[in-house]
Structure 1
Amino acid sequence: MTSAIDGIQLTARNVDLPTLGGILERQQARKFDAVVPASRVSAIHGNLHVSGARTTLSLDGVTTSDQIFRPSDICDGGISEKLGIPRQYLRKMREQAVDLYDANVNGWLLRAEDKKYLLRGFTSDDDGEIGIGRALLSDGYRIIDNLDGLTALLRGLRDSGMKVTVSCDLSERRMIVRVHSEEIRSLAPALLSNYRSPFTGKTGADNPVVFAGFVFTNGETGGGAHTFTPQIKIQVCNNGMTLTRDALRAVHLGARMDEGIIRWGEDTKKANLDLVSKQARDAVRTFLDVKFVEKKIIEIEEKAGRKVSKPKETIEFVTSTLRFTEAEREAIFEHFIIGGDLTAGGVMHAVTSVAQTLPDPDAAYDMESVGIRAMELAATA
């Protein structure tokens, strides 16, 4: 699954490394990053105009003009946060009264004239056309681009010498790279003995194998961090049990940046590459380890075996607590019944299997990430 706007592919689901790399390279060529004072930004017809940010070379010399961006929902979220405009009100104005959107944004930009922001965008393929406003961030936000993050991750994996399998997602919020090694495996018979894959019908009793792995995520539009989170992959169904409490997280904070369009030097890129590469090697050493997997399986099994005596009520409690949609609740209940494991562990399996079916990368990531939390809630229901 992919999604594109103005010729820029923004999302991808379940793609391989070469495909993701190609998307990121094409995005890189269209990126616009600038630290701008509030006084140089204005809203006109719902678009952000950055005065003097566009340069044109002609026989008459160099002229400057506005660079124009249509804000994404994420960018509008940044505008809401930075200017103190309630998010729902900003969304309503964009949808129903764009003149009020302009008036409110411009009014609060005027009162913030002494502040600077980092504006991230994609320029249009067509000269002079409107681009995409990706995010409005603090001028102290340290950027680690997805392409650099992916390059560094692969370097760290290569340096580790570990043979791994990789699958990738991309959204406007984050890049998600799932890594697992079939060389690092263990058995989880107690966790899988009653489970049947809703995809293939194969049973965990016949194949209780699990693999060690982790999930690497990186955010370019304000997620605030890149993370390495351990994940145990179940062979029989490809479900991923994500161990969020053991994540390695690095917040994207740095020194305040000077005003102007940002041109990243090779020393900055090298520093980012070195940082992520070292963290990738640490993740491999820590998470791709049989003892680590065996320890975590024991911890999971302590709660996974709790019987679910009232499936409908339990699924309702779990899904409402985790704020899933009605459609997601119905899908989880269906997978729970098909899976045949009427335990708290079966609830976890249902959540993580449904996550695989979701077309939206963020929704799939968010659901997969709370699989163990769903099990814990089911164990107490």
Structure 2
Amino acid sequence: MTQQVTEDPATRTPRTSTRNANLSDLAHMLEVQNGRKLDVVAPASSLTVANGNLIMSGVEPAMTSQGRAFMSDGAYQPTNVAEEGFAAKLGIPVGYLRRMRTENPALYDINVCGWLEQDPTRKFLIRAFRGDAAENGGGGVARAFLSDSYRLIDNFDILTAALQGVESSGHRVEIRGCDLTDRRMYVRVESDQVAVQARELLRGYRSPFTGETGDQLPMISAGFVISNSEVGSGAFSITPRAVVQVCRNGLTMSKDVMRAVHIGAKHDEGIVQWSGATRARELELVASKTADAVQQFLSPAYVEAKIAEIEREAGKQISDPAQTIEVVSKQLSFSGPVRESILNHFIRGGQTTAGGVMQAVTSTAQTLSDADAAHELEAMALPALAAAARAA
């Protein structure tokens, strides 16, 4: 279900969050975000916190894409991600920081300001969305508080370059769903042309969503996930992902991920703006990496080899499902509600094996409304398989 762009009524800044959107919706959301972005490198001496907001002062004006100047100085309301940046860069435990925000906001201001004052020359990269009030002096959202050597590789550019890489590979693919959160962008790509039989892996399995069985449709498609974070929550990555056609469960092969980290040379102080040549070089690399990934991950031989690896553990019988899933959940730190959902999906799936536990993890992931949590859980399916096989 897609959630369209909305604006925070207090700051008049875009709040973009979507789950299972189509490509057009995602592209529109990213364009709206790009029109509001402000990236500033500022020394600690130009930063303070008041009423829980990050205050920038003495920063040069920036320009909109229409060529209008607006003031960068002003108050920016931090997101949870930016607050995590405060904690990481200033050495304040994040739990304590959030407790202060809730229970003692004045102490919150004092703590953050105090640690900023420890080294007035230290520089930070602030990624923000400007609000409508920005043209008259600030008002917006601080979305990330990062090192001044953080390399900017933005979601819209990643999406465009990656799709160019897919096109240049010559493979026909479908975009099966897009997620966007305050932390990351996820784009799921699948090839129906590259599908292999997995009768042994899917024997006896029943989709908890439709009741259709793996014996009726024993096919697994090749695919991958394109992911990126603009705010320090992970690298640009391309991760192979096999899709069980009978239930749309995704098996993410995290060990084979292709990554590009966001670390580069330090930015100069002030508004951060890339030159066209620098941007072109970065995006050419993204397109090249994507084309390489497509050739590797959308290969029948690759998918068959991965299925063979999975089948070596997937057939082990589970005699006590509740106990096994309890053990797996403890080892992988699943919450109580997630553990209960996995057990329910295991029972409905009808496959009383370690492979059935794996399928229950991935089908549970499909039901989560939090896209970050869903992708994290899906990535734990193969570790859950291994843990269930050991406990069997």
| TM range, smaller chain | over 0.9
**What's the C-alpha RMSD, in Å, of the aligned pairs?**
1.7
TM-score computed with the length of structure 2 as normaliser: 0.93
Match of 1:72 in 2: 79
Match of 2:146 in 1: 137
Residue 151 of structure 1 pairs with residue 160 of structure 2: yes
Alignment partner for residue 120 of structure 1, among 127, 145, 153?
A: 127
Residue 344 of structure 1 pairs with residue 354 of structure 2: yes
Residue 39 of structure 1 pairs with residue 45 of structure 2: yes
Residue 109 of structure 1 pairs with residue 107 of structure 2: no
Residue 365 of structure 1 pairs with residue 375 of structure 2: yes
Deviation at 1:65, TM superposition (A): 7.1
Match of 2:66 in 1: none
Aligned equivalents of 1:30 and 1:64: distance in 2?
13
Residue 318 of structure 1 pairs with residue 328 of structure 2: yes
Report how many residues are paired: 377
Aligned equivalents of 1:65 and 1:332: distance in 2?
48
Aligned equivalents of 2:72 and 2:200: distance in 1?
66
Q: Structure 1: state its 5+ residue gaps.
A: none
Q: Which has the higher strand share?
A: 1
Q: Check conservation: 1:191, 1:301, Cα contact below 8 A.
A: yes
Deviation at 1:54, TM superposition (A): 6.6
Q: Check conservation: 2:194, 2:222, Cα contact below 8 A.
A: yes
Q: Note closer, same or farther for the CA distance 1:238–1:256 as it changes in structure 2 (3 Å cut).
A: same
Match of 1:49 in 2: 55
Q: Check conservation: 1:45, 1:99, Cα contact below 8 A.
A: yes
Aligned equivalents of 2:39 and 2:62: distance in 1?
18
Q: Check conservation: 2:41, 2:272, Cα contact below 8 A.
A: yes
Deviation at 1:86, TM superposition (A): 1.1
Instruction: Please give the secondary structure, in 2, of the residue aligned with 1:27.
Output: helix
Residue identity over aligned pairs, in percent, reads 47
Runs of 4+ in 1 over 6 A off after TM superposition: none
Instruction: Please give the secondary structure, in 1, of the residue aligned with 2:132.
Output: coil
Q: Check conservation: 1:218, 1:227, Cα contact below 8 A.
A: yes
Instruction: Please give the secondary structure, in 1, of the residue aligned with 2:17.
Output: strand
Q: Which moved more, 1:119-128 or 1:371-380?
A: 119-128
Residue 226 of structure 1 pairs with residue 236 of structure 2: yes
Instruction: Please give the secondary structure, in 2, of the residue aligned with 1:113.
Output: coil
Aligned equivalents of 1:249 and 1:151: distance in 2?
17
Match of 2:16 in 1: 10
Deviation at 1:273, TM superposition (A): 1.2
Residues 338-370 of structure 1: CA deviation (Å, up to 9, x unaligned)? 000010000010000111111111011101111
Q: Check conservation: 2:128, 2:143, Cα contact below 8 A.
A: yes
TM-score computed with the length of structure 1 as normaliser: 0.96
Q: Note closer, same or farther for the CA distance 1:265–1:65 as it changes in structure 2 (3 Å cut).
A: closer
Residues 127-164 of structure 1: CA deviation (Å, up to 9, x unaligned)? 45631111111111101000000000110111112111
Residues 12-40 of structure 1: CA deviation (Å, up to 9, x unaligned)? 10011111000000000000101110110
Deviation at 1:275, TM superposition (A): 1.1
Q: Note closer, same or farther for the CA distance 1:193–1:56 as it changes in structure 2 (3 Å cut).
A: closer
Q: Check conservation: 2:42, 2:59, Cα contact below 8 A.
A: no
Alignment partner for residue 34 of structure 2, among 15, 21, 28?
A: 28
Task: Give, as a single letter, the amino acid of the residue that structure 1 aligns with 2:57.
Answer: S
Match of 1:329 in 2: 339
Residues 82-125 of structure 1: CA deviation (Å, up to 9, x unaligned)? 11111111111111111111111111101121210100011113
Q: Structure 2: state its 5+ residue gaps.
A: 64-68
Q: Note closer, same or farther for the CA distance 1:375–1:5 as it changes in structure 2 (3 Å cut).
A: farther
Q: Check conservation: 1:52, 1:64, Cα contact below 8 A.
A: no
